[in-house]
Amino acid sequence: MCPTLSCTLESYAVKTRAVTSDCYGSRMTGTALMSAVIARANRSWCLFLDRDGVVNARIMGGYVRSWSDFEFVPGALDALRTLARWAPRIVVVTNQQGVGKGLMTENDLSHIHDRMLRAVAESGGRIDAVTSCIHLAEDRCDCRKPRTGMARAYLDVNPEIDGSLSVMVGDTDSDVEMGRRLRVVTGGCAVFRISAIDDPLADGTYLSLAAFAAAIAPLLPSE
């Protein structure tokens, strides 16, 4: 058993009983999660995190165009504080086609991200970098998810990070597909989906980032 793990599988089951209604035990999500935590303990790796629908509320059929449109998902800030204890790097990878469509400027987007980073830091969390694809779907760029360009660009300039230990968390098919493609490129990537519907293509599905972090928390060394 890894020395940094604070509990055994049995005690993990007890500690997480309160959150099992938020995850899908039939697919042994807890066990997959525990393996993911064990494999990454004391290693240098990166958690890639989708933004809309995971960190902040998604605007259906529209875009977050200014800070006043940006609303953290309930529990997301607390979740980021927990995840900061787990992941040596946390990098947001977000498709923001609204820039390519001219609905907002790159400046608007970086202003939103500055405010987001400040709010996360003020609540004791950490996001190390934000990478955005501002291109249109028809541009066929290398970075728009499900393509892996954003994650690869980060890994390219941070060679100390072991890409094969990557973790991808997102709420759409394209996030899960990005994680699966990254797995092929780097040799490994654990993929978790934020959804009310179990995704068999992911290693685990959780109702929210808060539910995901609540499942991780008992596996971390105590603060």
Is residue 171 among the annotated active site residues? no
Q: What are the helix (H) ranges across 63-208?
A: 76-86, 97-100, 106-122, 149-157, 173-186
Q: Is-contact 80 90, C-beta < 8 A?
A: yes
What distance, in Å, lies between the first and last C-alpha atoms of the chain? Answer: 19
The entry of Zn ion, Mg ion, none that residue 144 binds, CB within 5 to 8 Å by partner kind: Zn ion
Q: What is the smallest separation between the CB atom of 53 and Mg ion, expressed in angstroms?
A: 4
Please report the sign of the dihedral spanned by the C-alpha atoms of residue 50, residue 54, residue 57, residue 61: positive
CA 102 – CA 197 distance, rounded (Å): 33
Residue 98 interacting with Mg ion (CB under 5 A): no
The entry of Mg ion, Zn ion, none that residue 93 binds, CB within 5 to 8 Å by partner kind: none
Residue 171 interacting with Mg ion (CB under 5 A): yes
Q: Is-contact 104 65, C-beta < 8 A?
A: yes
Please report the sign of the dihedral spanned by the C-alpha atoms of residue 14, residue 20, residue 23, residue 29: positive
Q: What is the smallest separation between the CB atom of 77 and Mg ion, expressed in angstroms?
A: 17
The entry of Mg ion, Zn ion, none that residue 141 binds, CB within 5 to 8 Å by partner kind: Zn ion
Nearest CA among 44, 43, 41 for reference residue 3: 41
Q: What is the smallest separation between the CB atom of 94 and Mg ion, expressed in angstroms?
A: 8
**Interhelix angle for 76-86 vs 106-122, to 10°?**
80
Residue 22 interacting with Mg ion (CB under 5 A): no
Where on the chain is the footprint of Zn ion (CB under 5 A)? 133, 135, 141, 143-144
Q: Which stretch binds Mg ion (CB under 5 A): 49-57, 62-70, 79-87, 115-123?
A: 49-57
173 burial level (CB within 10 Å; 0-12, 13-18, 19+): middle
Of the two residues 89 and 135, which places its CB atom closer to Zn ion in the complex?
135
Of the two residues 39 and 129, which places its CB atom closer to Zn ion in the complex?
129
Q: Which residues pair with 92 in a beta bridge?
A: 49, 130
The entry of Mg ion, Zn ion, none that residue 143 binds, CB within 5 to 8 Å by partner kind: Zn ion
Of the two residues 144 and 193, which places its CB atom closer to Zn ion in the complex?
144
Kindly name the residue from 52, 171, 175, 199 that is annotated as catalytic: 52
Residue 199 interacting with Mg ion (CB under 5 A): no
Is residue 52 among the annotated active site residues? yes
Residue 52 interacting with Mg ion (CB under 5 A): yes
Q: Which stretch binds Mg ion (CB under 5 A): 19-27, 37-45, 119-127, 165-173?
A: 165-173
Catalytic residues: 50, 52
